[in-house]
Structure 1
Amino acid sequence: FDERANRIANALAARGMGKGDKVLHLMLNSINWLEAYFGIIRTGAWAVPLNFRFTSDDIKYCADIAEAKTMILGQEFTERVEPIRPQLPTIKDYIFVGENTPADMEGFEDIIEKASPEPLKVALTAGDECGLYFTSGTTGDPKPILLTHKNMECAAVTEAEHHYQQREDNFILIPPMYHTGAKMHWFGNLLVGGRATIVTEIELKSIFEAVEQERGTIVWLPVPWVQDILGALDRGELKLKDYDLSSWRLM
């Protein structure tokens, strides 16, 4: 994971990305999501994670606000991005995560394979910016929120101490990682060297299956999902006796 993040950082730097530049990050939850995220911020650039529900207009709006130079996108978003590409003059490089890379984009695995695995030497301070996050735009246009490396460091330390996260923990990552809550709760586990399991199939039973199969210890869930679980248990659609959840210590 560390080496692949280094390779992404070096690949981005070779394409002119550096301190203060912005990279749009539009992907569904996956290990590639995290590799790309850490690769971006290791260059000194700002990661700009986008809500996977954003429409083409939302994506264009955020790209304009951020003045992004590069976009890393999953194959699921091609149909939303292609129509607006002529309206995104600041974006020079498109990096495609998935199969059948379009001819005018670069493949994620291709750039990783060709890049150096060595750490990129970039002078960064805790006060340097590392991420531009957008709200979901439920009451208007998405609103940008700027975060620094110090913000991320504090999130990691706070979560590790508040939840007593340890190396033996396995954090079950479920909510979309473009959201700060999904990542920052997990950051504590990363800080202490714990495992993470990324769940991509969002069904209630998938949560219990992940805990049982991967011996998950920590699960972060939004309140509506918890309510759905409790409702399913009350209705008998989920049965606790069907799963070994003995490893699960914190929600």
Structure 2
Amino acid sequence: MHKPLLVTDFLDRARRHYGDDEAVVATTGERYTYEELGERVDRFSAALAERGVGKGDRVAVLDPNTHYHLEAAYGTMQLGAVHTPLNYRLTPDDFAYILDDAEVDAIYADREYAGKIEPIRDDVPTETFVTNGADAVDGDWEDFDALLDAVGPDPGVDRPEMDEDDVITINYTSGTTGDPKGVMRTHRTETLHAYLVSVHQEIRDDDTYLWTLPMFHVNGWGHIYAITGLGATHVCTRGVDAERIFETVAAEDVSYLCCAPTVLNRLIDYYETEAPATTGDAEVRVATAGSAPPEATIRTVEEEFGWYLKHVYGATETGPLITTSDARRHFDDDSADRFARKKRQGIGYLGTEVRVVDEDGADVPRDDETIGEVVVRGNQVMEGYWNKPEATEQAFSERAEGYYHTGDLATVDEDGAISIQDRKKDIIVSGGENISSIELEDALFEHEAVSDVAVIPAPSDEWGEKPKAFVVPDGEPDDPGALEDELASFTRDRLASYKVVRAVEFVDDLPTTATGKVQKYELREREWDDEDRMVGEG
């Protein structure tokens, strides 16, 4: 029997079996059951439909981790419209590019971020503008709750016929050129990824999930689906605050959360000074990804917090999750060796073929020494890039035909567990956010004092990696320290806050090949000389 895999099934199942159970603990204090959440979703769908939104139209969501994000996402998707979440840390120019590129028809923006959309609304094709605090927002915005009140209860939603191969989400990511690319994901890829997350992250209906991971990051790594479909409880947040996280874990009996290594470091810093309770009545497990956490971080989380850590790996294009370090037959829970094991990106998820290949597309030996590129094939991998067929073709054909090429370089051990060693792409991963070195270089080149520049990832105890610029100045700077501060301010004025250059080193020249191409590898090698690998690990 063939039954189409549709993302609408997740909320449908929760309403059917867990209608009277708590679905959401909102940041505003309200608590909603799954039936109440579903009714709000239905009313938002009806409001969008009244404004002409239908199957295939794009609806953007710009929101921290509130219940409105969940309602807007499901309200969009059950119309067959395409959920397009936005990174709230971007600039108005970034939003203008994305809204125009995706030809977004409607946007819901949280009251704290609507001000970033207001300056560019006349430059984009978007016609419907909704926020959750219209009275507090400048411009002509419709209020989310007022829309729901106007629709009334039990509106009924006329769902269109949907196919599992229809695109249902577009997640924008930055490439090495700095141009955002829209990653297209279908009902099928989203659904199968959520199934895999449910298995490997061991999600249950009695879980209470704390939203520390941004929902806009590949739909919260698929947790907007998995947590909902299994009838677990969403605890929403408005940003990451260490004190608040510990308080909520204890008060709400949180059993599961996701934290980038930089968030884990913030929690450790707070724990060492304040000694808060780290659990409620439930045992806690935590997933981390991005730059590999150092062994000391894993040790503190497991031995001091009493949490069980799972290290996972992937990319926006791959669902994101494709590997896990949680292979318990490969380590002893009572042995300190497990920390080194959990530091690795690990083995492939079910149904996921993860390979490390050389330049000819052949698998490297399992000697944990030979470096190759990580390529992947699986049902959770993207359909392609929105309106970018050439980039799509390149992503799936460079070394191994039919595999998505991650651009990450790794070794493989005898069990097939991968360990990332370096990056093929010039991408800096700082605090879980991707920063294009080329985009940052382009901004710095605009400063009159910069003659030449190369940006690379440098070690950071707080962020794992930070952007560092090697600058050839135009003349001898009178005050290098002042110029360094000026360059940081210069990038801050032009780019999203997390992309600001964090360190500057003035040099006489940059290492280049015979053809004049900058050899960033030499700069990275020098910068990471005291580290055990050239990716950020805190």
Q: Fold-level match, TM-score > 0.5?
A: yes
Alignment of 1:68-217 (within 5 A): 68-88=104-124, 90-100=125-135, 104-115=140-151, 116-136=154-174, 140-180=178-218, 182-185=220-223, 187-217=225-255
RMSD: 2.0
Cα displacement string for residues 50-89 of structure 1 (whole angstroms, at most 9, x for unaligned residues): 100111100000011101111111111232222112211x
Cα displacement string for residues 174-216 of structure 1 (whole angstroms, at most 9, x for unaligned residues): 1221111624145322221111111225211222111100001
Cα displacement string for residues 212-231 of structure 1 (whole angstroms, at most 9, x for unaligned residues): 00001111111221233334
Q: 1:231 to 1:137 in 2, by over 3 A?
A: farther
Cα displacement string for residues 11-54 of structure 1 (whole angstroms, at most 9, x for unaligned residues): 11111111111112112220011101110111111111110011
The one-letter code of the counterpart of 2:248 is: A
Q: 1:180 to 1:6 in 2, by over 3 A?
A: same
Q: 1:138 to 1:114 in 2, by over 3 A?
A: farther
Cα distance in 1 for residues equivalent to 2:134 and 2:104: 24
The one-letter code of the counterpart of 1:94 is: F
Q: Among the aligned pairs, what percent are the same residue?
A: 27
**Which structure ranks higher in relative contact order (CA pairs < 8 Å, sequence separation ≥ 6)?**
1
Q: What are the ranges of 5 or more consecutive residues in structure 2 without an aligned counterpart?
A: 1-36, 287-538
| Alpha carbons 2:58, 2:102 under 8 Å: kept | yes
Cα distance in 2 for residues equivalent to 1:103 and 1:50: 20
Alignment of 1:27-66 (within 5 A): 27-66=63-102
| Structure (1 or 2) with the greater helix fraction | 1
The one-letter code of the counterpart of 2:220 is: A
Count of residue correspondences: 247
Cα displacement string for residues 62-121 of structure 1 (whole angstroms, at most 9, x for unaligned residues): 011101111111111232222112211x21111122140656322111211222532332
Cα distance in 2 for residues equivalent to 1:174 and 1:250: 13
Residue of structure 2 in register with 1:9 after alignment: 45
Residue 248 of structure 1 pairs with residue 286 of structure 2: no
C-alpha deviation, 1:172, in angstroms: 1.0
Residue of structure 2 in register with 1:21 after alignment: 57
Cα distance in 1 for residues equivalent to 2:248 and 2:46: 34
Greater Rg over alpha carbons, structure:
2
List structure 1 runs of 4+ shifted beyond 6 angstroms. Answer: none
Partner SS, residue 23 of structure 1? strand
| Alpha carbons 2:70, 2:224 under 8 Å: kept | no
Q: What are the ranges of 5 or more consecutive residues in structure 1 without an aligned counterpart?
A: none
Q: 1:103 to 1:7 in 2, by over 3 A?
A: same
Cα distance in 2 for residues equivalent to 1:55 and 1:34: 23
| Structure (1 or 2) with the greater strand fraction | 2
